[in-house]
Amino acid sequence: MPAMTPDQLHAFMAESFPQAAHMGFRIEELDDTRIRLRVPMHDRHLRPGGTVSGPTLMWTVDCAFYLLIMGRIGPVALAVTTNLNINFMRKPEPVDVLAEARLLKLGRTLAVGDVTLFSDGKADPVAHATITYAIPTR
Amino acid sequence: MPAMTPDQLHAFMAESFPQAAHMGFRIEELDDTRIRLRVPMHDRHLRPGGTVSGPTLMWTVDCAFYLLIMGRIGPVALAVTTNLNINFMRKPEPVDVLAEARLLKLGRTLAVGDVTLFSDGKADPVAHATITYAIPTR
Amino acid sequence: MPAMTPDQLHAFMAESFPQAAHMGFRIEELDDTRIRLRVPMHDRHLRPGGTVSGPTLMWTVDCAFYLLIMGRIGPVALAVTTNLNINFMRKPEPVDVLAEARLLKLGRTLAVGDVTLFSDGKADPVAHATITYAIPTR
Amino acid sequence: MPAMTPDQLHAFMAESFPQAAHMGFRIEELDDTRIRLRVPMHDRHLRPGGTVSGPTLMWTVDCAFYLLIMGRIGPVALAVTTNLNINFMRKPEPVDVLAEARLLKLGRTLAVGDVTLFSDGKADPVAHATITYAIPTR
């Protein structure tokens, strides 16, 4: 059973990370090991040619996994990303980005997961990432 | 529909890569985008402490994804691994290793996928990897 | 001998990628296999606690390596990042970011390199990344 | 000043990891943040076509970085690899492999570095890897 609900997570982010909350993301699904996050398309995320920028995709990976960890163990303000590996596979459409993240390991000091990114309405992923967070000893 | 069946892949490997076939792996499931591979435990894979060695796990990742690509497009002797990223998450048990690989992208020159490794009988993965192969233009 | 000088690269970016040029980066050194890039500190890159944001660091990695490739082979508008792996090692200071990139391989279709990021004035790197670009066949 | 000399490291490996020592590696240079390791060519490392196998290269990366950490902080039997990311860039020649590793961060619980692999006598690297070790709290 998650430690925080999507509503609690949205409220926590709005208070603690207003810059991130400003991206307008919404948690669509959440359980102990999975999250589905929607990041609405916005002109400021776009690159020439009408594609979503690489930094926006990487931010989405990081945000989805951070929310998944917090959903599981509660607010951990000091958790930090230590490794992010991303494969860019297809040009994103100028639409919402959906992130589906899995928690593969929640250890004493490290959390490891992977995140698959989709353009809304498309079956083939635009990118896939693995990510590691260092978690302060609880 | 895959281009090769598990039996055809086993025969191809025995002929073309006898050293790899010597590992005794068996394809348990195969379709267009997924493979499940079993690598039997053998004393020569073990490390002190009774754990499967890192090189054996990395070999398993590479082999599973190579078989998945060949199953999909037929024998491509010149395909080569260009990137492998692996997170080691739990100590493997001294039992068979199971690899579950997904094909995330099959492009004109690159194939990208991920592979999750399990100790037989355990639900939590021992490792997770992403892998890229360069494929000769067909 | 590089195909483009730092001045030519600055002008090319200002024209083709005004959004990127807006970051105000400057090439401090450039030869066939190495580049040193400075990204000035700006409030919009900062996170709470006065540290440079992860997306800004990832953007810096990507930009430095793109400039190094273009410096070597000339403008290649269609080159795209296919893989980026980054290890975040130390909290960045709220100062300029320096990127030192090396070209490890320039192949027919792939370019591979690594990028080490520093906070200006500090000897220990804040992050290290490897990056792969797919290059259109020339 | 390193905590262990090359001779002490060779002796420690021969006693604690006879299987690894059997590879016949030699430390050619060692200081606080760098190591240069030679792994002699042997028939059992070769693949059809006379190239060094991928698992041998990955083993070399792992071994070089483990020796560098131990040289710095002394024998830490329980240090384990948590992440390895490798880019294979050129076909290795059937000759000795040289590994040049750098320690980029030695933290309280994680050590991060990169390793560049060469075929003996060649200037262009055959592979480049980044690697993370988890270190038991000292």
Chain C residues lying within 8 Å of D132, measured CB to CB: 87
Q: Band the pLDDT of A77: cuts 50, 70, 90.
A: low
Q: Which residues contact B129 (CB under 8 A, 6 or more apart)?
A: B58, B61, B84, B85, B86, B87, B114, B115, B117
Residue A1 lies in a domain: no
Residue D1 lies in a domain: no
Answer for the pair A74, A10: CB distance below 8 angstroms, yes or no: no
The pTM (predicted TM-score) of the whole model is 0.94
Number of domains in chain B: 1
Residue C36 lies in a domain: yes
Chain A residues lying within 8 Å of C84, measured CB to CB: 54, 58, 84-86, 88
Which residue in D43, D59, D79 sits closest to B53, CA to CA?
D59
Residue C89 lies in a domain: yes
Residue D63 lies in a domain: yes
Residue with tokens 């059937």, as numbered in its chain: D94
> Using one digit for the tens of pLDDT, what is the confidence trace for D76-118?
767 899 999 999 999 999 999 999 999 999 998 999 999 999 9
Contact flag D54-B47 (C-beta cutoff 8 Å): no
Q: What is the pLDDT of residue B50?
A: 73
C interface test, pick of A84, A97, A114, A132 with most C CB neighbours within 10 Å:
A84
Lowest mean pLDDT, pick from A47-51, A131-135, B63-67, D60-64:
A47-51
Which residue in D32, C115, D49, A114 sits closest to B85, CA to CA?
A114
Between D102 and A18, name the one with better pLDDT.
D102
SS3 sequence of A14-35: HHHCHHHHCCCCEEEEECCCEE
In this structure, chain A runs to a length of 138
Who among C16, C48, C80 is closest to A88 (CB)?
C80
Query: Computed from CA positions of residues C92, C116, D102, D126, in that sequence, does the dihedral angle turn out positive or negative?
Result: positive
Measured from the Cβ of residue D22, the count of other Cβ atoms closer than 10 Å reads 11
Chain A residues lying within 8 Å of C42, measured CB to CB: none
Nearest chain C residue to D128 by CA distance is C104
Measured from the Cβ of residue D96, the count of other Cβ atoms closer than 10 Å reads 18
Contact flag B47-D88 (C-beta cutoff 8 Å): no
**A57-71 residues labelled b (16+ CB within 10 A) or e (exposed):** bbbbbbbbbbbbbbb
> Using one digit for the tens of pLDDT, what is the confidence trace for B65-93?
999 999 999 987 678 999 999 999 999 99
Residue with tokens 């020649």, as numbered in its chain: D93
Chain C residues lying within 8 Å of D130, measured CB to CB: 85, 87, 114, 128, 130
Chain C residues lying within 8 Å of A79, measured CB to CB: none
Q: Which domain holds residue C45?
A: 6-134
Residue C1 lies in a domain: no
For A97, the enclosing helix (H) or strand (E) is strand A97-106
Q: What's the start-to-end Cα distance of chain D, in Å?
A: 18
Find the CATH number of the domain harbouring D108. 3.10.129.10
C interface test, pick of A58, A91, A128, A132 with most C CB neighbours within 10 Å:
A58
> Using one digit for the tens of pLDDT, what is the confidence trace for B97-116?
999 999 999 998 999 999 99
Who among C83, C109, C134 is closest to B83 (CB)?
C83
- Write phi, then psi, for D55 (nearest 5 degrees): -60, -35
Q: What is the pLDDT of residue D123?
A: 96
Residue C99 lies in a domain: yes
pLDDT at C138 > cutoff 70: no
- 3-state SS assignment for residue C63: helix
Q: Band the pLDDT of D75: cuts 50, 70, 90.
A: confident
Q: Which residues contact A18 (CB under 8 A, 6 or more apart)?
A: none
Nearest chain D residue to B91 by CA distance is D80
Query: Computed from CA positions of residues D84, D89, D91, D95, in that sequence, does the dihedral angle turn out positive or negative?
Result: negative
The residues with which C63 forms a beta bridge, in sequence order, are none
Residue C20 lies in a domain: yes
